[in-house]
Chain A
Amino acid sequence: DAGITQSPRHKVTETGTPVTLRCHQTENHRYMYWYRQDPGHGLRLIHYSYGVKDTDKGEVSDGYSVSRSKTEDFLLTLESATSSQTSVYFCAISVQGRVGETQYFGPGTRLLVL
């Protein structure tokens, strides 16, 4: 457990509404990631951050924005939710170890866009 929490854990929203998901970590790790997980696709990187106010796009960033104003919080915003964004969203931090990087994941947020 790397002290990662996500909120909300479950959310139902309507198409066209903005949605913000929060990831909070307690151990001041520099790198944070947002993934989505869909059947048959595994984990796909949406955005990542390498420090406060430093973020970059991942593989599936269209329709998503992120912000990191504090080390401990990484926010993911769906600017105008669509049904294709129904998914499970995972936040992760990375820790450099003896044999390379390890990613530790939060418990996930299950989002349903109607």
Chain B
Amino acid sequence: TQLLEQSPQFLSIQEGENLTVYCNSSSVFSSLQWYRQEPGEGPVLLVTVVTGGEVKKLKRLTFQFGDARKDSSLHITAAQPGDTGLYLCAGMDSNYQLIWGAGTKLIIKP
């Protein structure tokens, strides 16, 4: 069974701080996605990374795919209360199935 481990599971920080969320696996993925989910709603795609070593930026969010395509990170600069939510990573395996991490619950306090 392929696993995607996310860490930390929970993070509560003050507005303005920086943070990094990690997504790790022993398996290689053809692509990796990050989703954000707000309470009472379904996850919404933030970004897809495809190439080993790829870095994508979405305003204050920076996503990186590991060189070996087994891990990824999400870095948020100067976090804001609007960044609060559940962040999920999902890797596409060789059977074209999405393997999901358990999520990181992020709370940004004003």
Contact = CB atoms under 8 A, between A and B. Distances in A.
Interface of A: 4, 40-45, 90, 92, 99-108
A45 B30 CA distance: 19
B12 interface: no
Given A41-B102, A99-B31, A100-B48, A105 B43 contact: yes
A100 B100 contact: no
Contacts of A41: 102
Interface residues of B, number: 23
Contacts of B79: none
A42 B103 contact: yes
B31 A43 contact: no
B48 A108 contact: no
A4 B50 CA distance: 27
Nearest to A45: B97
A103 B98 contact: yes
A24 to B, nearest CB: 14
Contacts of B31: 99-100
B103 A106 contact: no
